[in-house]
Structure 1
Amino acid sequence: MQDRSQIYSEEEYRYELENRMKNLLWTVSGDYDLDVNLDLDSFRESQYITLYDAVKQGAFARYFSKDEFGMYLVKKLYMGADEPSLAGLAQMCVDQAVLQKITVERKGVSTLRKKAFGDILDRDFDRLARRNDPVARMKIAMLQQGLDGTYTAGKMVREQVEELFSLQNAEDTMDVIRKVDGFYNRLVDPHFEKEHGTLEQVLSVREADLKKFDWQDFLDENATEASLEEMMRQANSSTLPEDEEEAEEKKHRAGKILITEEDIKKMYSYIELHFGTSYMDAREQERLNRRICRGIHADCKLYFTEGILKGCVRENNTYVLAKRTSEMNERFYRQNQRISRHNIAALGDILKRSLQARNEDDTQISDYGTVIPQKLWKVGRTSDTKLFLKQFKKNNSDFVVDVLIDASGSQRSRQHMIALQGYILSAALTRAGIPHRVLSFCSFWDYTVMRRFREYNDPAEADWNLMEFTSSSNNRDGLALRAAADGLLARPEENKVLIVLSDGRPNDLVVNRPNAKNPAVYTGDYAVKDTASEVRRLRSQGISVLGVFAGEEQDLQAERKIFGKDFAYIRELSTFAHVVGRYLRKQLDEQD
């Protein structure tokens, strides 16, 4: 246990650091009433990134209107923009807009910027290179140019980068807004103006409309409520992380949320409001909780729903966000329709061929059946009575599959890809005639929410429900696996397969309430070991468990610990059918 002196020292350190950062920011901005979000945790990773961020925010507040810019970003998000992409473009444009102004006035900023860019490249280059989209390539080029004045890029990227650099001559906030909006509509979503609105329409959104959708109901990843003011504050921060879940994960590891008994009473209605009503009878759900939520999950509960779009209590912002996410998922499918259909056909055919092989009649030499003329010479001469061929019927109806998808906030940046992978898998299983169920899971407070997309014998139309996939909050993988397996084990089929789509990062912020039995934070090795233990337990019960990994390479080791050799690493969508089909065919063959 940490002693009081250590805690006090840590608090003193953070207080002193925050004062230093704010003094720097106030000095640059000239505004001693300015209050912005500073990422103090990143100071340990790179003091230069944190210091330069304070300088940059202060400079932007001095030369431009942070309120006008922040309001534009909030309105663009309200109209349906993708938050990580918009934030990434905003970061780059803010940097270029203040660069000339601040370096002319303060010569030391140029050196600080170079060191910060070097640290950013060391930390993020591999991730940006793997993304390989126009925004990522622009950022790499901007960072390289900031280091030594040169960068390497193709013609199309160079054109965008030179346009970005022209922001160094920006005269007012609207110059910055126009550039961010133009980049977003051109590089991220070319259909945005047609489907959602022009810049003029975005800016014409009234504050009354924003407040009407009750932004304070928007769930962030720390299980708190974010007000409109908080969203604007974050939007103005030039260090909005491109993967916000990484920042939230640091907060999660820091401790627990303490809630009151009054909060506990409100919890169920809050879950209904933001995840949709439950399709399960309350008594049945309570019986499941008593049977499944045991051991380290003893203080947890399960909640079964078909999602907020199908079980809406009222049209709050969570509903609006889910609807827009569904539209973006469908748009991503249309953009990848040809390769998706190919994957569905290829995977479906792989499974059908394997099942047909299992269904073909098998023949064996026996002591009764159809006589084999060539063996008749043995009659009366040997004691061998196996002179016949007997046909054995095989049955391909003894397979059932559950697909379980991690829907936690760490999946947000790739939720359109996960929705598409889930749809491909479900549609291929339907094509092969294999009964299957598709669920997603996330955890909020002490509830693990199991979202059902389709049941085992639903028609093919139900596969399209995967386009409603959205991610939020945390993930308690061990409990979700146990809950999915409970339904799978009740199926009559002899051979059962559970496919888990995840990023290999079980992480659940524990709600610390009175008399909690398991106050430990469900994260890191503790969570990985529990999830791996659950996988082994399910395999011992006869369930074949496969992990389909679509996360970052640094999480591969955790994925291996959880699933052993039975996990598939999906690097490209084009390989999805081949990689997953190879595993499923292996399961079919081994059970033959």
Structure 2
Amino acid sequence: MHKDLTEELSIEDYKMELENRIRNLLWTVSGDFLLDVKPDVSLFLRSKEIALYDGIKQGAFARYFDKNLLGLYLVKKIYLDASETELTGLTQLCIEAAVGDRICEERPGVRRMRKKALEDILDQEYENLPFYDKLLDRLKIAVFRDVLTGSVQPLEKKLSAFRDQIYACAESRDTMELIWIIDSLYNAVIDPDFEKKNGSLERVMAVTLEELTEFGWEDYLNEEMYEEALENYVEKLTDRMTDIEDSSLTQDMEEKRKVKNKITVISEEALQKAHTYVELNFGKTYLTPAEEKRMNHLMCRGIHGDCSLYFTEGILKNPVRDNYQYQYAKRLRNKNIWIYHDKHRIAKRNIAILTELLKKALVIRSENQEVLSDRGTIVPSRLWRIGRSCEANLFKRILRGDNTDFVVDILIDASGSQMSRQGDVALQAYMISSALSNVDIPHRVMSYCTFWDHTILHRFREYDDPVSADEDIFNYVTSSNNRDGLAIKAAGYSLLQREEEKKILIILSDGRPYDVIINRPNAKNPAPYQGKYAISDTATEVRRLRSQGVSVLGVFAGEEKDLPAEKKIFGKDFAYIRDIGNFSKIVGRYLTKQLEADN
């Protein structure tokens, strides 16, 4: 652990150093020290060279071209029904061609960094998902390989002609020339009918700001941009123009034109790609195909009928390969461990208090009793009964207390909304698990999040695992959405299969169930899983488990404004931890009440 802590501290220092380096590179290359700099330090998790080269290219582009003019063109083109993802992807490739060689000639030291950045992108993006059937991706691969080999490689005639147009960007004298090439390529490569349907470049540039302001941007923006003002959208779009990496490996799988009321209809082929992504980024499943099919058949019904369950022990335990997500998960584990060390005194005190509370509650159950028996240790004073009594009971036995009447499940919300609290949530789960381990109560710990139609249940420890398994909770990583009702239903099903008489489920969540619906073709689209609809479904699953004898406690790990939703879901049995120092007392009170009630 101490080694991991040292690594985490060095990572934080490294990130700060990297941000400064990117900022300085961008200013130096652009020659404009007043330039608004936005270093993407998150890229360093993928590759140092990608992050640094991204900063260099931002500076070079700002030096040679007008990014605001190009950004405005993109917005206008999208307004006329161009695909945002493909237009920005093509623009990024053209900008790479326009400034890549120029900056390498001026600064030869950049050449090695550029090659390594492009090499890392090819390795990370195009080894992961089968995107080779897309013309734009094939062009991107061809351009990158030319840079890496140092010469123009043979290519089929049609693709070669498009690549030549991209390379013509290097000769662009101003931004409008670059825009003309991008527009012409889009109409040829992405949408050959665009000009016929929506007009030429002249029509695109003639779109007024008034038209843009009045336009319904919700049809085009992703979830993060939803309901943002036009100027913010333009700013975000221009920030993405120079990116050569795919900021989200799932964007090409999303068919944005089919989005309506946040319900997305996708093909079976795309669903298969989603499953590949899940396996690569969340780790292999520990279920057999038959077991997985059975669980999905049992659990994914009703409003969850178009969903899937995916059971894994995480990418750190069962990776497909050592990819970006694997390295990212390692760094987040280090961060969680660092938070534990930072608060280790509070954590140890909470674990000790909670352990003591549980021991007291179990004292009667765990008390040893001495009874007479027909086997055990002989009692000399009772030997006279031999031949005189049919119930001699010449021996004594010790009946040891049995704690196995209790079993606990801990379920942790691992959606993206928990990212800012990730370390603290992991710490809370770890404290409960450690205390339960100390008193030998069997318990399981899992987290849940939802990506596309997959609700991922990440198992950190199984019921009867040794104490050492508690540390696997620090593998907790947050991402994507959360379909709380389905996750609780699945966890509850496994819990109900246990033989213990008293079953307890502890759920650490933020009271905000939310999932973008993903539907297979010809499926009946239910309402979006959010707001009252999602809260009602989650509360129903909690009540259903309680009616089957499971005690359910909600531990609130969210923002105060979401407390009313948490109360609707869990009723009176929920705990709001304002101060982590009081964690053991609040959770301990609930657990001891359950243990004593059974007694």
Fold shared by both chains (TM-score > 0.5)? yes
Selected match of 1:449 from 443, 456, 478:
456
- Give TM-score scaled by structure 1 length: 0.56
Q: Secondary structure at the match of 1:456?
A: coil
Selected match of 2:121 from 211, 215, 218:
211
The residue that corresponds to 2:265 in the other structure is 258
Q: Tell which deviates more after alignment, 70-79 or 299-308.
A: 70-79
Once the two structures are superposed, the pairs formed by residues 409-558 of structure 1 within 5 Å of their partners are 409-558=416-565
Query: How many angstroms apart in 2 are the aligned matches of 1:253 and 1:336?
Result: 45
CA separation of 1:207/1:394 partners in 2, compared to 1, >3 Å: closer, same or farther? Answer: closer
Once the two structures are superposed, the pairs formed by residues 284-323 of structure 1 within 5 Å of their partners are 284-323=291-330
Contact 1:74/1:235 (8 A) holds in 2: no
**1:333, CA displacement in angstroms?**
0.9
Query: How many angstroms apart in 1 are the aligned matches of 2:526 and 2:420?
Result: 30
Contact 1:441/1:451 (8 A) holds in 2: yes
Query: How many angstroms apart in 2 are the aligned matches of 1:337 and 1:558?
Result: 32
**1:293, CA displacement in angstroms?**
1.2
The residue that corresponds to 1:233 in the other structure is 239
The amino acid of 2:507's aligned partner reads V
CA separation of 1:445/1:72 partners in 2, compared to 1, >3 Å: closer, same or farther? Answer: closer
**1:63, CA displacement in angstroms?**
6.1
Contact 1:74/1:232 (8 A) holds in 2: no
**1:522, CA displacement in angstroms?**
0.5
Q: Report sequence identity in percent.
A: 50
Count of aligned positions: 364
The amino acid of 1:462's aligned partner reads A
Contact 2:261/2:528 (8 A) holds in 1: no
Deviation string, structure 1 residues 379-435 (Cα, Å, up to 9, x no partner): xxxxxxxxxxxx999743200000000001110111111111111111111011100
Contact 2:45/2:328 (8 A) holds in 1: no
Q: Tell which deviates more after alignment, 523-532 or 296-305.
A: 296-305
**1:512, CA displacement in angstroms?**
3.1
The residue that corresponds to 1:64 in the other structure is 34
**1:318, CA displacement in angstroms?**
1.5
Once the two structures are superposed, the pairs formed by residues 48-59 of structure 1 within 5 Å of their partners are none
Contact 2:513/2:530 (8 A) holds in 1: yes
Once the two structures are superposed, the pairs formed by residues 315-394 of structure 1 within 5 Å of their partners are 315-360=322-367
Structure 2 unpaired stretches of 5+: 1-29, 52-112, 130-221, 226-234, 244-258, 371-397
Contact 1:333/1:420 (8 A) holds in 2: yes
**1:261, CA displacement in angstroms?**
2.6
The amino acid of 1:214's aligned partner reads Q
Q: Tell which deviates more after alignment, 267-276 or 448-457.
A: 267-276
CA separation of 1:427/1:392 partners in 2, compared to 1, >3 Å: closer, same or farther? Answer: closer
**1:334, CA displacement in angstroms?**
0.9
**1:310, CA displacement in angstroms?**
1.0
Contact 2:263/2:525 (8 A) holds in 1: no
Structure 1 unpaired stretches of 5+: 1-59, 84-202, 238-251, 364-390
Query: How many angstroms apart in 1 are the aligned matches of 2:41 and 2:400?
Result: 64
1:404 and 2:314 are equivalent in the alignment:
no
Contact 1:348/1:428 (8 A) holds in 2: yes
1:280 and 2:287 are equivalent in the alignment:
yes
**1:295, CA displacement in angstroms?**
1.4
Query: How many angstroms apart in 2 are the aligned matches of 1:253 and 1:460?
Result: 48
Once the two structures are superposed, the pairs formed by residues 149-228 of structure 1 within 5 Å of their partners are 207-208=117-118, 211=121, 214=124
The residue that corresponds to 2:41 in the other structure is 73
CA separation of 1:557/1:323 partners in 2, compared to 1, >3 Å: closer, same or farther? Answer: same
The residue that corresponds to 2:212 in the other structure is none
CA separation of 1:290/1:74 partners in 2, compared to 1, >3 Å: closer, same or farther? Answer: closer
CA separation of 1:236/1:328 partners in 2, compared to 1, >3 Å: closer, same or farther? Answer: farther
Query: How many angstroms apart in 1 are the aligned matches of 2:532 and 2:505?
Result: 23
The amino acid of 1:554's aligned partner reads K
Contact 2:361/2:595 (8 A) holds in 1: yes
CA separation of 1:569/1:477 partners in 2, compared to 1, >3 Å: closer, same or farther? Answer: same
Query: How many angstroms apart in 1 are the aligned matches of 2:524 and 2:493?
Result: 23
CA separation of 1:318/1:72 partners in 2, compared to 1, >3 Å: closer, same or farther? Answer: closer
**1:213, CA displacement in angstroms?**
6.6
Deviation string, structure 1 residues 188-211 (Cα, Å, up to 9, x no partner): xxxxxxxxxxxxxxx999634763
**1:254, CA displacement in angstroms?**
5.0
Query: How many angstroms apart in 2 are the aligned matches of 1:537 and 1:430?
Result: 28
Contact 1:223/1:445 (8 A) holds in 2: no
Contact 2:264/2:517 (8 A) holds in 1: yes
**1:550, CA displacement in angstroms?**
1.4
Deviation string, structure 1 residues 470-490 (Cα, Å, up to 9, x no partner): 000111111101100111111
1:591 and 2:598 are equivalent in the alignment:
yes
Deviation string, structure 1 residues 23-65 (Cα, Å, up to 9, x no partner): xxxxxxxxxxxxxxxxxxxxxxxxxxxxxxxxxxxxx998634
**1:356, CA displacement in angstroms?**
1.1
Query: How many angstroms apart in 2 are the aligned matches of 1:479 and 1:444?
Result: 13
Query: How many angstroms apart in 2 are the aligned matches of 1:294 and 1:451?
Result: 21
CA separation of 1:300/1:334 partners in 2, compared to 1, >3 Å: closer, same or farther? Answer: same
Q: Secondary structure at the match of 2:362?
A: helix
Query: How many angstroms apart in 1 are the aligned matches of 2:572 and 2:260?
Result: 29
Contact 1:356/1:396 (8 A) holds in 2: no
Q: Secondary structure at the match of 1:500?
A: strand
Contact 1:70/1:232 (8 A) holds in 2: no
Contact 1:253/1:521 (8 A) holds in 2: no
Once the two structures are superposed, the pairs formed by residues 55-134 of structure 1 within 5 Å of their partners are 64-66=34-36, 69-71=37-39, 73-74=41-42
Q: Secondary structure at the match of 1:433?
A: coil
- Give TM-score scaled by structure 2 length: 0.56
Give the number of the structure whose alpha-carbon radius of gyration is greater.
2
Contact 1:299/1:446 (8 A) holds in 2: yes
Query: How many angstroms apart in 2 are the aligned matches of 1:454 and 1:489?
Result: 17
CA separation of 1:276/1:72 partners in 2, compared to 1, >3 Å: closer, same or farther? Answer: closer
**1:315, CA displacement in angstroms?**
2.1
Query: How many angstroms apart in 2 are the aligned matches of 1:557 and 1:362?
Result: 48
**1:447, CA displacement in angstroms?**
1.0
1:577 and 2:584 are equivalent in the alignment:
yes
CA separation of 1:319/1:211 partners in 2, compared to 1, >3 Å: closer, same or farther? Answer: same
The amino acid of 2:454's aligned partner reads Y
